[in-house]
Chain A
Amino acid sequence: MQTLQLEIKQLLINALNLEDITPDEIDPQTPLFGEGLGLDSIDALELGLALQKRYGVSLSPDAAETRDHFSSIAKLAEFVSHARKI
């Protein structure tokens, strides 16, 4: 799971051009949006697309569980490990 977390951190940094941040600086439990990492709604769409391309997972923008999956790197890794098709 730690390998997958690292992989998703790198994907996040690349997809969202977070050039100034290294994977070590992102705590797996830190909230990604709002306070925490400070990502916004455009980032959510961009990250969803990157996950879809990399792992073949589909995310519904309206579903309540999507909000939960996107809450932190740890949650995302957990979701991807179950839902990935690639």
Chain B
Amino acid sequence: MSLLRFSVQQWCHWSVDSSSGNGLTEPPLPQVPAMQRRRMTSLGKAAMHVAFGIEHAHPDIPLVFASRHGDLSRSISLLEELASGTPVSPTQFGLSVHNSIGALHGILTGHTGPYTAIAAGEETAEQAFHEACGLLDDGAKAVRVVYYDAPPPSPYDCFGLSPTTLHAWACLVQQADKGPAIHLTHGPLEEPPSPDSLAGFFAGNTSRLIRHAGHRAWIWQRHA
């Protein structure tokens, strides 16, 4: 049983659902030049949008980019091209790696601090906070966590994997004594999962959230 303690200061969220009233399938991204924006997927734009939404006096604090599936549509189109004997697109190849969105963010912002890109199945968000807390223990003043994910495209859409809509969020993570503390721990699957999402927890809808992943339950608890 592990227990993480940290505080979350800023919170930025974007989803197709919350923007559907405006008819938007991706966020506008005026910070990125059109010549760079043209190569980004809707998921990449959503991730970049929320990453730009978190500010800190030290712009080179570490970044943790986390996504369960990442830009999977790129890998699928590469595999389809290979299967049909067509030469693969250099652009898709170059941007299909899991850290490409984080790397592009680094190029665009001139960020020279550490950044990492992780994927950990259903518990990707929880592992992102483990990574962030590790960086804080190593002496980072604060860490930006950027989470982004979209439903897996065809032919993987038949597996019913989460999430059901494209969404992204980002936050500023600091040591627990810097603000209201959040405790993150895991245990057996005794209690049912919460109906609310992690985005709802960070938005302040609930002070306790349970997420099931495989054989364990992750328990998020906010302390006043």
Contacts and interface: CB of A to CB of B under 8 A. Distances in A.
Interface of A: 16-20, 38, 42, 45-46, 49, 52-53
Interface of B: 34-35, 38-39, 86-87, 89-91, 94
11 contacts: A38-B35, A42-B91, A42-B94, A45-B90, A45-B91, A46-B90, A49-B89, A49-B90, A52-B87, A53-B86, A53-B87
A11 B87 CA distance: 17
A64 B90 CA distance: 21
A17 B87 contact: no
A46 B91 contact: yes
Contacts of B86: 53
Contacts of B87: 49, 52-53
B61 to A, nearest CB: 29
B35 A46 contact: no
Nearest to B38: A17
A52 B86 CA distance: 11
Contacts of A17: 38-39
Contacts of B34: 20
Given A20-B38, A38-B35, 9 more contacts: A42-B90, A42-B94, A45-B90, A46-B89, A46-B90, A46-B91, A49-B90, A52-B87, A53-B86
Nearest to A50: B89
A67 B174 CA distance: 51
A18 B34 CA distance: 9
B38 A19 contact: yes
Shortest 7 CB-CB contacts between residues of A and residues of B: A45-B90, A17-B38, A46-B91, A46-B90, A20-B34, A49-B87, A42-B91
A60 to B, nearest CB: 15
A18 B38 contact: yes
A37 to B, nearest CB: 9
Nearest to A48: B90
Nearest to A43: B91
Nearest to B34: A20
Contacts of B35: 38
A19 B36 CA distance: 12
Contacts of B91: 42, 45-46
A73 to B, nearest CB: 17
A7 B110 CA distance: 37
A86 B204 CA distance: 61
Contacts of B39: 17
A52 B38 CA distance: 22
A38 B38 CA distance: 13
Nearest to A39: B35
A18 B33 CA distance: 12
